[in-house]
Structure 1
Amino acid sequence: MEVKGSRHPTAKEVGEVTWVHPAADHFDGPGLDMLAPHLDRHEFSTGSVIIEQGGDANSLFFLLSGECAVLDGERRIASLGPGSVFGEGAFRGDPSRNAEIRALTDAVICELSIATVEEMVQSEPELFHRLLALTEAVCDIHRAERQASGEDPVRYVAILAHDGRLEELVSFAREHHSVLTCFPLVATATSARVLRSEADLDLAEQVLSGPFGGDQAIGAMVATGKVEAVIFLRDPVDSHTDSPDIEALGRLCDLHRVPFASNTSTAEAVILHLATGG
């Protein structure tokens, strides 16, 4: 249970914490001065549930002191110490919490609500962008930890094009190189070759060319939950022998709710989805 009502922490109180990377990279002294007035400070006693699994995801949390456990049901999957940042799923659009956070000792925690952050977009854009960079970095670290433990399988971004649109694919990949390199990529053979040689992209996986079963191979990855998004710049004019496979790939993406882009305009939306964590 919360043992003391909320108040705003002082910048000194927040600044005395040795923040766990990546928080330290995004908030220096002036940054903490800007952030502190927006935080609500809470004190929790040992055994208190700070985040309820399945509850609404509407805040980001900063652990000032104490120790907490991350629980999936009653299974402890991680521990948090002073300087930890958690609850970042609220910033990537998660509707509910996927784990419980419970205080193992008396704990002091600062809370930043999504409603407060939304107000910063216009009123304090510098602080907003620092917070956005922080939450993206925390998401990346937690995702890597889950993948290393085998709890969160690697999910690929499939990126490919018909021969007539390969030049357009290369231009798109160059423009969005910084986002694409954050994900393991998979492509069919011809697309993989030009992406490596002309867009300087490393691909984690390569499948056969589309007419030889490559589209089906990517479809199988979609069906087994291994694909985060598909960018397939299709040629809408010429006929292609693998058209039935492409239609099947699109149906699988619809069935499994995987974003599918078939032109650069929709691909821009997929890039935004990837950059913001969905």
Structure 2
Amino acid sequence: MKIALIAHDRKKDDLVQFATAYQDILAQHDLYATGTTGSRIQEATGLTITRFRSGPLGGDQQIGSMIANNDMDMVFFFRDPLTAQPHEPDVTALVRLCDVYHIPLATNMGTAEILLKGLQKGLVDWRLNAERRQ
């Protein structure tokens, strides 16, 4: 499965902690991340991550493009709901694309844990045949 890892500045530590706790599961999948988030996770875990630009510089849109092309299976986007983001339209577009293309999306650690445990149990295997549905 292809999994995107994204976090706003104040949530990067949370996502690094999450990736560290679940690195054995994440290591079994293709990981993608926006710039700084990807660097931080790689440094903390040693996981192989394809890194895109920083979110405000187009990284959110690069991941959105993968979603629109049915080339992403799950998104972990730890959002900061208490801080205004200058690239909020990009964030909104990414969340909308997940809804349009039925991509499982976690915006906080609680939901992320449930999705990852579901992934581990095979509950998201329907994504493996997603390209056949298009």
Match of 1:221 in 2: 66
Match of 1:238 in 2: 83
1:192 to 29, 38, 54: 38
Tell me the distance in 2 between the aligned counterparts of 1:213 and 1:229: 19
Tell me the distance in 2 between the aligned counterparts of 1:208 and 1:189: 5
SS at match of 2:73: strand
Q: In the TM superposition, what whole-angstrom CA distance separates every residue of 1:24-73 from its partner, at most 9, and x where no partner exists?
A: xxxxxxxxxxxxxxxxxxxxxxxxxxxxxxxxxxxxxxxxxxxxxxxxxx
Tell me the distance in 1 between the aligned counterparts of 2:120 and 2:82: 31
Give the deviation of 1:243 after TM superposition: 1.0
Match of 1:258 in 2: 103
Match of 1:182 in 2: 28
Give the deviation of 1:200 after TM superposition: 2.2
Comparing both chains, which one has the higher relative contact order based on Cα–Cα distances under 8 Å and sequence gaps of 6 or more?
2
Give the deviation of 1:163 after TM superposition: 1.1
Which has more radius of gyration?
1
Provide the TM-score with structure 1 as the length reference: 0.43
Give the deviation of 1:164 after TM superposition: 0.7
Amino acid corresponding to residue 268 of structure 1 in structure 2: E
Structure 1: gaps spanning 5 or more residues? 1-154
Tell me the distance in 1 between the aligned counterparts of 2:74 and 2:33: 12
Tell me the distance in 1 between the aligned counterparts of 2:43 and 2:51: 14
Give the deviation of 1:259 after TM superposition: 0.3
Amino acid corresponding to residue 55 of structure 2 in structure 1: G
Amino acid corresponding to residue 213 of structure 1 in structure 2: G
Higher helix residue share: 2
Give the deviation of 1:199 after TM superposition: 2.4
Asked if 1:247 is matched to 2:92, the reply is yes
Tell me the distance in 1 between the aligned counterparts of 2:18 and 2:117: 13
Tell me the distance in 2 between the aligned counterparts of 1:200 and 1:176: 12
Root mean square deviation, CA, Å = 1.0
Provide the TM-score with structure 2 as the length reference: 0.88
Higher strand residue share: 1
Tell me the distance in 1 between the aligned counterparts of 2:6 and 2:109: 12
Amino acid corresponding to residue 69 of structure 2 in structure 1: T
Match of 2:47 in 1: 201
Amino acid corresponding to residue 7 of structure 2 in structure 1: A
Give the deviation of 1:202 after TM superposition: 1.2
Q: Matched residues, percent identical?
A: 37
Tell me the distance in 1 between the aligned counterparts of 2:73 and 2:119: 8
Structure 1 consecutive aligned stretches of length 4 or more whose deviation exceeds 2 Å: none
Tell me the distance in 2 between the aligned counterparts of 1:189 and 1:198: 15
Matches within 5 A, 1:1-278: 155-203=1-49, 205-277=50-122, 278=124
